[in-house]
Amino acid sequence: MTGLRINNLTKIFHTSNGVLPVLKDVCLTIATGEVVAIRGDNGSGKTTLLNIIAGIDKATSGEIQFNDAQETVPKIGYVQQDYTSSLLPWFNVMENIAVPLRIHGVGRQLRFEKATQVLKKLDFNELPLDKHPYQLSGGQKQRVAIARALLYNPSSNV
């Protein structure tokens, strides 16, 4: 079963210096459960591709299909390479973990209940929930990013 199919994906950025093509006609098929590594030089579009797959950015053209269907917005948990810059400095640990649910309009109490459940499941009980990212160690920041990625209950069959 196909978990992810990318057909002729192109991404072009418009900058003050003109047009910057980053991805051109990318095609990729990944079976459900298959593990794939994406490798390339700096600036080759790896993060852009992942951001498009995760729904953080949009392709200029092309098509992405999940699970042999026309599903275009699956639930994806994604820890960015520079996880520290993805944490919001004005939010504390609990608020940072709950960001995906906040974006989807889930109320504060339910967001925090779900975040607490994820923390318990991951055994991340030592995280100081009232602290802000600048007050955390690197390992604590990484745990916050992981908990946030798993909070959204990503699709397990992509």
Share of the chain above pLDDT 70, in %: 90
CA distance 98 to 111: 6
In degrees, rounded to 5, the angle at the alpha carbon of residue 57 between the alpha carbons of residues 27 and 91 is 140
**Model-wide pTM > 0.75:** no
The segment(s) of the chain belonging to CATH 3.40.50.300 are 2-66
Instruction: Reply yes or no on domain 2-66 having CATH 3.40.50.620.
Output: no
pLDDT confidence band for 134 (50 / 70 / 90): very high
Q: Is the pLDDT of residue 95 over 90?
A: yes
Q: Is the pLDDT of residue 157 over 80?
A: no
Q: Which of 13-17, 67-71, 146-150 has the lowest mean pLDDT?
A: 67-71
